[in-house]
Structure 1
């Protein structure tokens, strides 16, 4: 069977389009065709072999689509495409003292790491134009003011392979 497209009719009223019952019948038939193509039985359960062939969560180096995890350094999201996103958070910083963080998962050596910084003012807005930079192993943050309660999140984006 070919894909059945639902006719939405003419905007904004939908005049000339499929009624609700016809639209849902087309949608159900499309889903049934997909499940049938995957080899699903009448109860609709996707066969275990299909799920095992392309696991979504797991080790991307072993064929999974992605993995997420955390450790004392923060959170990471690793994708099979090679993309890696790491988030490291700390609370409080002192004036003119570099705060170093280690990524929860190292980026590929000798690559550039994009960096996003969020500084949530809890004890006062930091209008000092703080500076941050990233390396494959970590990131650094410095400000000319002290903010003992502000929460800083550093988000690194780059490649793990």
Structure 2
């Protein structure tokens, strides 16, 4: 009903107002309606409201944001301990470190009961890592354990952590191995892959103590190559070049100029070799080169001038002739070399076997 106004009449005696009976009828009608409505109210209408998101006083009525629900999680300081959160169910956030955390930047969902048992799930804020642990009734906490999911450990055939990224099968992708989390991924013709290898499988690990760091091993699918690198995925940090791992399939290969640092470029070998039994060379990554040629028989006074199978970087080149005396000793033979060839001459005509060996550098 609408509120009924009691007419109190004119001052000072109330002349013309409601009689005591009519006024009492109005009062009874309105109080009857109020008490009937009060009987329909629950206990929340008679309880105190929480004073803030971290007000855990028993019996108080929860509001939006209480215990971190419905708004921002309850923020904790770097000096706070995840073991000492209030023994209540709620959402908490460590935005800059703290004690007993699996990661310096986490949001924790905590579920607690009256027996002292607590379950915590921590979600990292900087990547897709998720961790869980529990507290028993005796107060002992289990260690944090990372949950395995397709975002933090890519194994099998499924989408990766980044749109356009695939695990297991090789396919064209838009995602970069520079952002791969822990797992086994496949990349095909990606500019951030290993140069010269179109299809690669990448085993990647995000370091548990500081997940910004990555260690990666690339295994070529379309060729014989294994490469590795380690780097930071922090914004603005550049991923380094892949480094080749030498094995019995590529240690003897094309040697590129590694430069003063000695670092081997992609697709390079430690040793390069060429030629056949009587004319061969070895090149080493540091710049050392050895050439050797062998021939039988020579004519007195006639210079033998033959090009090295692989040229040297400078002149003179250290040259050593070994003359095997199949007919007679030859004490008059002479030999020298330059960057491109060697010169051999003797004062005698003999059918001796001559092996010419040269040592020098193929790059500075």
Assess same fold via TM > 0.5: yes
Residues paired across the two proteins, number: 111
Q: Is the 8 A contact 1:114 1:156 kept in 2?
A: yes
Q: 1:53 aligns with which of 238, 241, 245?
A: 245
Query: 1:86–1:159: structure 2 CA closer, same or farther, 3 Å change rule?
Result: same
Give the Cα separation in 2 of the matches to 1:71 and 1:101.
15
Partner of 1:77: 282
Tell me how far 1:72 sits from its aligned partner. 9.2
61-70 vs 87-96, which deviates more? 61-70
Tell me how far 1:124 sits from its aligned partner. 1.3
Tell me how far 1:77 sits from its aligned partner. 0.4
- TM-score w.r.t. the length of structure 1 is 0.62
Runs of 4+ in 1 over 4 A off after TM superposition: none
The CA deviation string for residues 8-41 of structure 1, in whole angstroms up to 9 with x for no partner, is xxxxxxxxxxxxxxxxxxxxxxxxxxxxxxxxxx
Q: Does 1:134 align with 2:337?
A: yes
Structure 1 spans left out of the alignment, 5+ residues? 1-47
Give the Cα separation in 2 of the matches to 1:102 and 1:49.
36
Q: Is the 8 A contact 1:66 1:79 kept in 2?
A: yes
Give the Cα separation in 2 of the matches to 1:111 and 1:144.
25
RMSD, matched Cα: 2.2
- TM-score w.r.t. the length of structure 2 is 0.29
Partner of 1:87: 292
Q: Does 1:125 align with 2:320?
A: no
In terms of fraction of residues, the more helix-rich structure is: 1
Tell me how far 1:49 sits from its aligned partner. 3.1
Give the Cα separation in 2 of the matches to 1:99 and 1:57.
31
Tell me how far 1:112 sits from its aligned partner. 2.3
Partner of 1:115: 319
Partner of 1:145: 348
Give the Cα separation in 2 of the matches to 1:155 and 1:105.
13
Give the Cα separation in 2 of the matches to 1:111 and 1:140.
13
Partner of 2:309: 104
Structure 2 spans left out of the alignment, 5+ residues? 1-224, 229-243, 257-266
Tell me how far 1:80 sits from its aligned partner. 0.4
